[in-house]
Amino acid sequence: MTLIPDGIATARRLRKLRRWFKRHILKKAWMLEGFGSPFAQEEMLLDKIRCEAYREAIRRTVKTGDVVVDLGAGTGILSFFALQAGARHVYAIEMTGIADAAAELIEANGYRDRITLIRKPSNRTRLPEPCDVLVTETLSTFCFDTENTIEFVADARERFLKPGGRIVPECADTFFLPVSSEAFGLGSLPPRFYDLDYRPFIKRLASEYRRLRASGKPFLALSEPAACYHVDFRKDTQNPGKSFVPFRVTSDGRLDGFLGWFEAQLCEGVTLSNSPFLPLTSWWQLYLPVAEQPQYHAGQTMLLCMDPNIVDGEAEWKYSVQLATPVGTPVPSQK
């Protein structure tokens, strides 16, 4: 069963072409478009779950006198946490325009002699000394799907860290969950809208993977969550590829899509997650909709086949779902 209608392929190709044009013709990296916004940074700073977890992990990881590199520093919050934990010096690398705000905050807090702000991509940066700790909050909604964090961390780990250097976060696991929900299944639009047929537009909504706020909203889990990818920032060098995830259906229901999230181990004893079963964070959740909305029944097995298809650091998800019922098990008819 193919989840993405053929009619959407052209729109996908056009979107890829626009992104390629911005990156290669206008020379405007995708990160400059979003993370350089003060409003995007404000949302992350107000996420107390995120900030408190990182603050505690850095407190446990950074030792007095350490040299720290902060990859994708944003406004510099992790750099400040590192100094509070006892770091001697921090190299804060931030390529977007939000570096201007970071410079103001460094000055306002009296850290100009202890933080070196570097305004260019980390893979084009050379540091004057090796570092003891690398900290980064370049996690995306599914951990690795939009910020190319695995490859950037691998490069920084190789060139910036001393042998045996520490990294925050250390690793992360990603999960998918098949769900049915009237709150966000195929959007909130009814098929008839102002006496007009809006089914073609609803079908388009159903073909677009996206971030959404599932935390706190009603949904029916059709199975237990299934682990998908494991990312180890201490040794991984490449982005994940194709994967196949089986789900044993535990509840009868209509399959609207799959919710995705991560659970990161920042350091031993400190974890951070954007699971839909936990309070909402600034990451929200990844959502892979299923246009056909097939019915499943307890005891059946579904198989999610996926490919992140990461291009220039951003995933263009390709996915399909198959029914894989054990031999000899009667399959109720689907209508």
User: DSSP labels for 101-164?
Assistant: HHHHHHHHTT-TTTEEEE-S-GGG---SS-EEEEEE---BTTBSSSS-HHHHHHHHHHHHEEEE
Does a structural domain hold residue 186?
Answer: yes
Supply the range of the domain harboring residue 244: 172-323
Do 301 and 224 lie in one domain? The reply is yes
Give residue-wise pLDDT tens across range 137-180.
999 999 999 989 999 999 999 999 999 999 999 999 999 999 99
Task: Output the domain CATH number for residue 286.
Answer: 2.70.160.11
Residue 334 has pLDDT above 60, yes or no: no
My answer on whether omega of the bond before 289 falls inside 30° of 0, hence cis, is no
**5 in a structural domain:** no
Single residue among 113, 148, 169 that ends a domain in this structure: 169
Q: What mean pLDDT do residues 103-107 have?
A: 98
Q: How many CB atoms lie within 10 A of CB 183?
A: 14
Q: Are 181 and 124 within one domain?
A: no
Asked if residue 202 has pLDDT above 60, the reply is yes
Tally of domains within the chain: 2
User: Are 183 and 134 in the same domain?
Assistant: no
Question: Does 207 score more than 80 pLDDT?
Answer: no
* H/E run at residue 49: helix 48-61
Order of strands, edge to edge, in the sheet holding 115-118? 115-118, 89-93, 67-71, 131-136, 161-168
pLDDT band at 27 (very low <50, low <70, confident <90, very high): very low
Domain co-membership, 96 together with 154: yes
Tell me the CATH number at 159: 3.40.50.150
**Across 199-205, average pLDDT:** 81
pLDDT at 328 over 50: no
Note the pLDDT of residue 28: 45
pLDDT at 214: 96
The pLDDT > 90 percentage for the chain reads: 76
Span 249-268, average pLDDT: 97
Residue where a domain terminates, one of 169, 188, 205: 169
- If asked whether residues 281 and 224 sit together in one domain, one would say yes
Task: Please tell me the distance from the alpha carbon of residue 105 to that of residue 8, in angstroms, as a whole number.
Answer: 45
CA 317/CA 174 separation, integer angstroms: 15
4 — pLDDT class (breaks 50, 70, 90): very low
The overall average pLDDT reported for the chain is: 89
Cα–Cα–Cα angle for 246, 213, 264, nearest 5°? 60
From CA 176, how far away is CA 51, in angstroms rounded? 25
Whether 262 and 138 have beta carbons less than 8 Å apart is answered as: no
In this structure, are 251 and 125 located in the same domain? no
Identify whether residues 132 and 258 lie together within a single domain: no
Q: How far apart are CA 52 and CA 320, in angstroms?
A: 37
Among 154, 169, 184, residue at a domain's last position: 169
Give the range with max mean pLDDT: 19-23, 192-196, 198-202: 192-196
DSSP, collapsed to helix, strand or coil, labels residue 179 as: strand
Q: What is the pLDDT of residue 63?
A: 98
Residue 36's pLDDT is 83
Q: Are residues 210 and 90 in the same domain?
A: no
pLDDT at residue 189 in the model = 75
pLDDT band at 31 (very low <50, low <70, confident <90, very high): very low
Distance of CA 210 to the CA centre of its chain: 11
Structure confidence at residue 3 (pLDDT): 47
pLDDT of residue 33: 53
* Residue 296, pLDDT above cutoff 70: yes
Q: Tell me if 127 is assigned to some domain.
A: yes
In-domain check, residue 34: yes
Gap between the Cα atoms of 223 and 52, Å rounded: 31
Q: For residues 212 and 76, state if they share a domain.
A: no
Average pLDDT over residues 113-131: 97
pLDDT at 47: 97
Q: What is the DSSP string of 26-47?
A: S---HHHHHTT-HHHHHHHHT-
In a domain, 4, yes or no: no
String of DSSP letters for 261-330: EEEEEEETTEEEE--TTS---TT-EEEEE-TT--EE-TT-EEEEEEE--EETTEE--EEEEEE-PPTT--
pLDDT for the residue 201: 85
Residues 109 and 202 in one domain: no
Q: How far apart are CA 245 and CA 272, in angstroms?
A: 23
What residue type is 134 in one-letter code?
L
Across residues 77-89, what is the average pLDDT? 98
Instruction: Decide if 81 contacts 58 (C-beta within 8 A).
Output: yes
Contact criterion met (CB below 8 Å) for 139 and 262: yes
What's this model's pTM, rounded to 2 decimal places?
A: 0.87
pLDDT value at residue 329: 53
Q: Say what the pLDDT of residue 163 is.
A: 96
In a domain, 176, yes or no: yes
192 and 319 both lie in a single domain: yes
Give mean pLDDT, residues 176-193: 85
Residues 147 and 285 in one domain: no
